[in-house]
Amino acid sequence: MPVVGDYERLAQSHLSRAAWDYYATGSNDMESLRDNLRAFRKYLLRPRILKGISRISTETHLLGYRAQSPLCISPSAMQRMAHPDGELATSRAMAQFHSCMVLSTYSTTALEEVIDQGNPHSSYWFQLYLYQNRPVSAELIRRAEVAGYRALVLTVDTPMVGRRLADARNHFKLPPPWRLANFPDDFQILTASERAAREANGPQLADHLSNESLGNRSDTSLTWQSCLPWLRSVTRLPIILKGVLTRADAALAVQHGCAGVIVSNHGGRQLDGVQASIDALAEVVKGAQGQLEVYFDGGVRCGADVFRALALGARAVFIGRPVLWGLAANGQKGVEAILHELQSELEDAMRLTGCATLTDIQAQCLYRTGYPIPSQL
Ligand SMILES: Cc1cc2nc3c(=O)[nH]c(=O)nc-3n(C[C@H](O)[C@H](O)[C@H](O)COP(=O)(O)O)c2cc1C
Ligand SMILES: CC(C)CC(=O)C(=O)O
């Protein structure tokens, strides 16, 4: 019965140093990355006994779409570096969960191919970075709509790429033959003269993670006023903000008509020193006031972590690195094994706490260490 940690070790043995570092590490001192995992341990599970739970249902609804499980897949860039089947393997692996996969803008499989060759039972959302060159973003959105993506996930914690020290030391580049498949031309985001200079130096991918190259093309001047009305002018898809950590921003997301937010600190890869994602969840749920769907990612490594996030108010829980570990270890089968293990562990936690459905998983199922037990529990 291998668990996520076993796949992590296997993945490390399969990957090059640079690929492993890109997937596994975070920014600066990686405090937030470590904290993401550690913080879960503060929330202890409180079982209710003798509740006669014979059947468990993990069914839920995500933007109106009926999912068999609250386990979904976070957007992770460059999955073919982990396994040649990359994003296709990930997408096929989630078929029986009827849940949701978010595809990264920096996918190494074209967004159309992921849906065409994926599985018909899942909901696909497209993750977006907005570029200074807006027509490039508008074209990506148009393609995502035509292909059948059901929502846009705008990542709002990455106006610049975090200081990823290992990637800088490794001079990290996406290794050939893999390419950022959503861009027909790798350097579409560059100006014509920059492109000519690149081409003169031979066909190569820029070091996409450096702020001097692609990161710099992201629109760092984005504001609530400049990006949401623009997005709405080019799409009717629901908009979800990924990277919300405060009550105030959750309330603004409501005001600006967003359909959802993902509580996330980008797996500790962006601003180091921010609070653990799980510690921000209850605050964001308050800010959302039931007006939009609140999802969660960051540091989920076992079913009990999924349970904790649900108890703190998440409607769905997105899995990041563990999917990459499964993919690197054994392609589609590896991702399936990861999802099955997390699902079984979640069901065990539900059975043993006395929760038959996801709506039974409430705040009173947890006790936060260091805090008095509230009198109503
Ligand atoms: C290798 C890697 C690539 C990522 N690429 C993206 C991306 O392209 N877009 C995005 O919004 N988030 C990206 N993320 C962040 C994830 O969506 C997610 O927030 C994070 O992985 C959650 O933390 P965890 O993996 O430790 O659970 C990436 C994360 C990793 C590890
Ligand atoms: C190309 C990167 C900005 C993708 C990303 O979001 C990440 O590596 O965390």
Per-residue pLDDT reduced to its tens digit, 36-79: 999 999 999 999 999 999 999 999 999 999 999 999 999 999 99
Name the residue with the closest Cα to ligand 2, atom 5: 77
Per-residue pLDDT reduced to its tens digit, 260-283: 999 999 999 999 999 999 999 999
* 137 in contact with ligand 1, CB cutoff 6 A: no
* 74 in contact with ligand 1, CB cutoff 6 A: yes
DSSP string, 146-176: HHT--EEEEE-S-SS----HHHHHHT--PPT
What residues are annotated to the active site?
Answer: 266
ipTM over 0.90: yes
pLDDT for the residue 305: 98
Distance CA 211, CA 127 (A): 19
Site of tokens 């899995």: 319
pLDDT for the residue 202: 38
pLDDT for the residue 205: 38
Task: Please name each of the domains of the chain with its CATH number.
Answer: 4-368 (3.20.20.70)
pLDDT for the residue 370: 75
Q: Which helix or strand (DSSP H or E) is residue 253 part of? A: helix 247-255
Closest CA to 90 of 251, 323, 270: 323
Summary mean pLDDT of the chain? 91
Per-residue pLDDT reduced to its tens digit, 69-119: 999 999 999 999 999 999 999 999 998 889 999 999 999 999 999 999 988
* 321 in contact with ligand 1, CB cutoff 6 A: yes
Name the residue with the closest Cα to ligand 1, atom 12: 75
The preferred substitution site among 76, 102, 106, 182 for testing ligand 2, maximizing ligand atoms within 8 Å of CB, is 106
DSSP string, 256-316: TT-SEEEE--GGGTSSTTPPPHHHHHHHHHHHHTTSSEEEEESS--SHHHHHHHHHTT-SE
pLDDT at 196 over 70: no
Q: Is 298 annotated as a binding residue?
A: yes
pLDDT for the residue 216: 43
The arithmetic mean of pLDDT across residues 327-347, rounded, is 98
Q: Is 52 annotated as a binding residue?
A: no
Q: What are the backbone angles phi and psi of residue 161, rounded to the nearest 5°?
A: -80, 135
Which ligand is the nearest neighbour of the Cα of 277?
A: 1
